[in-house]
Amino acid sequence: MVDEQSLKALLKAHGWRLNWTRLYQTRYGYAKRREGGKQLSRYMGSDRTIERLTEQDVLKKLGIEESQS
């Protein structure tokens, strides 16, 4: 399980950053990164579901293989 601080550290180690978007009472987390002129975005989950993610889940959502990390 990862908390918000360890998620930020994990994303930063792989060149991503965490961005939050609020819709009504729920916050949704997105991992974002720039590649050339484009900005890539990957949905991480709501603030409630991010707490249940493991490091392997986060890397899978980013499309990073286990052998690369």
Predicted local distance difference test score (pLDDT) of residue 67: 53
List the beta bridge partners of residue 45. 29
Per-residue pLDDT in tens (0 to 9) along the chain, 69 residues: 778 888 888 889 888 999 899 989 889 999 999 988 898 899 888 888 888 888 888 888 888 776 554
Residue 51 is predicted with a pLDDT of 84
pLDDT attached to residue 4: 80
Residue-level pLDDT at 66? 63
Whole-angstrom Cα distance, residue 26 to residue 55?
23
Residue-range domain boundaries for the chain: 4-68
Q: Is the pTM of this model over 0.85?
A: no
